[in-house]
Amino acid sequence: MFTETEQKKEFIPVDFRNKIIQGDCEDILKAIPDNSIDLIFTSPPYADQRSATYGGIKPDKYVAWFMPKTDEFFRVLKPTGSFVLNIKERVVDGERHTYVLELILAMRKKGWRWTEEYMWHKKNSHPGKWPNRFRDNWERLIHFTKQKNFNMYQDEVMVPVGDWAQSRLKNLSETDKKRDNSRVGSGFGKNISNWVDRDMVYPSNVLHMATECYNQQHSAVFPVALPEWFLRLFTQPGDIVLDPFNGSGTTCVAADRLGRDYLGIDISQDYCELAINRLQNELNTKKGNNKHEAT
């Protein structure tokens, strides 16, 4: 993993796989060839959020700030690739701001296809009570593509039927997180299939996942299971996944676990270091598990 500027310019065009790069994705991506990325999965800083690291983009300026970046995304994405955007509109003056709607319309004018909108139901959203609204328990996962036909591997995200299987899936994923991560290279779907492989159905466009909690230092804004789901659905092992707002590197962790290559870009040096540490921990966990299995 390289974060130094010197290495970027000569390294990326030749081989930009499995790197975390510090910088503005709009600039960094200029060095990436056209039609070279299989999946872009990202959660950009929401308007006026994360101002400490991203400078707090004003809601009214959000589309203008984001559009040049999506132009680069469009260029580097393979024609059969997908762009999954995790975003939610802020409340401004007591009503939802329209920057997400405007962004979708603007991106369509640039050639993007608004193929689908998945729903992430967050079980543990921020609490609070106000006179005019309840807790915001969902976020958009907007699926853009460059063309009508794109790669989608639906069988890879099939889920067990019925509540009994759901509860077992939950238990498995929790215990597996620490103990069996090395085997999770192929993912929980395969583990599950050991005992319920005959009762699997296709999921819907509603995803139920809790936000992941805090290892003291930092909180991942979305759970690893979220990029994992879309990586299974839209990529194959060996494909390359880009997260241009990499943050703590959750997308790259998912790619690493699933045997996909990643490219993570973030403007914050601190975030880049955090992501590199997380990925190093993943590597150590793998080694530890392998050693454990060997003994």
Partner DNA sequence: GTTCCGCATGAATCGATAG
Partner DNA sequence: ACTATCGATTCATGCGGAA
- Closest distance between DNA and the C-beta of residue 7, in Å? 27
Helix (H, G, I), strand (E, B) or coil at 118: strand
Binding partner at 295 among its own copies, DNA, none, C-beta below 5 to 8 Å by kind: none
- Closest distance between DNA and the C-beta of residue 272, in Å? 16
| Residue 119 found at the interface with DNA (CB under 7 A) | no
| Residue 45 found at the interface with DNA (CB under 7 A) | yes
Member of 119, 206, 213, 283 binding DNA (CB under 7 A): 213
How far is Cα 276 from Cα 218, in angstroms, rounded to an integer?
A: 13
Between β-strands 113-122 and 138-145, what pairing exists: parallel, antiparallel or unpaired? antiparallel
CB closer to its own copies, 203 vs 259: 203
How far is Cα 72 from Cα 191, in angstroms, rounded to an integer?
A: 38
Binding partner at 150 among its own copies, DNA, none, C-beta below 5 to 8 Å by kind: its own copies
Member of 13, 55, 111, 162 binding DNA (CB under 7 A): 162
Stretch of 75-83, 103-111, 120-128, 279-287 lying at the interface with DNA (CB under 7 A): 120-128
- Closest distance between its own copies and the C-beta of residue 234, in Å? 11
Core vs surface per residue 228-260: b (16+ CB within 10 A) or e: bbbbbbbbeeebbbbbbbbbbbbbbbbbbbbeb
Q: Which helix (H) or strand (E) holds 61?
A: none
The secondary structure of 74-103 as a DSSP string is HHHEEEEEEEEEEE-PPEETTEE-SHHHHH
Among 98, 100, 124, 130, CA closest to 114: 100
- Closest distance between its own copies and the C-beta of residue 276, in Å? 35
CB closer to its own copies, 40 vs 142: 142
How far is Cα 165 from Cα 151, in angstroms, rounded to an integer?
A: 28
| Interface contacts to DNA, rule CB under 7 A | 43-46, 49-50, 86-88, 90-91, 94, 123-124, 126-133, 135-136, 139, 161-162, 164-165, 167-168, 170-172, 174, 194, 198, 201-202, 210-215, 219, 221-222, 247
